[in-house]
Amino acid sequence: MATPEEIEHRVEENDSTTTAKRSAAAKRVGELAQRRAAIAEQLSDVERELGDVLAESNDVIGTDELAKFTDVPVADLDRWLNGRKTTRTKRKKSAPASAAAKTETGQGPPTATAKTSGPTATVPEPAEPRSAPAGADARVPAEVT
C-alpha cells in the first residue's frame, strides 16, 4: 500500500500535466483576446475615417456611384456614413423653462388628478346563490375583486 507522501507525490505529478495544459490554454486565450481588441480598435478607426471621407465627399459623389466604382456594397457605405458620431455642442437649458415646456407639450411626467365631480365607480354585488335541488352539489360563487 502507498504511503500518504507517495499518494501526494503521484497526485501532484498527475495534476502537473493538467495544470500546464490549463495554463497554456489560459495564456493563449488571453493573448488572442488582446490581439482581437487591438484589431477591433483599428477597424473602428478605419470605419470612422471612412465615414468622414464619405461625408466630406457626399456633395460631389453619392454612395450609389461610389458603390459602382469601388465594388463596395451601398449598405456598407451607408452604414459607415450614418455610423459617424457627430460632435454637437450641448445647449444649456434652464430647469424651470424646460419643465414648463415639457408640461405645455404634454411630455412632462404624468401626474395624478383627483376626480372632483361625476359618478363614482361602484362594485357590483355578488349574485344571489340559486337554490339547488336536494342531493345536488351546491356551488358557491367566488367573489372576484
The confidence score (pLDDT) of residue 34 equals 97
pLDDT tens, residue by residue, 34-71:
999 999 999 999 999 999 999 999 999 999 999 999 99
pTM summary value: 0.48
Phi, psi dihedrals of residue 143, rounded to the nearest 5°:
-80, 125
- Looking at the chain, the whole-number percentage of residues with pLDDT higher than 90 is 43
Return the DSSP state at 38: H
Is residue 129 within a helix (H) or strand (E), and if so which, with residue range?
Answer: none
Query: Could you tell me if 141 and 126 are in contact, meaning their C-beta atoms sit under 8 angstroms apart?
Result: yes
Nearest to 91 by CA among 81, 82, 101: 101
Instruction: Give the span between the Cα atoms of 48 and 36, in whole angstroms.
Output: 18
pLDDT tens, residue by residue, 82-99:
988 665 556 666 555 555
Q: Tell me the mean pLDDT in the region 119-145.
A: 58
Query: Could you tell me if 84 and 52 are in contact, meaning their C-beta atoms sit under 8 angstroms apart?
Result: yes
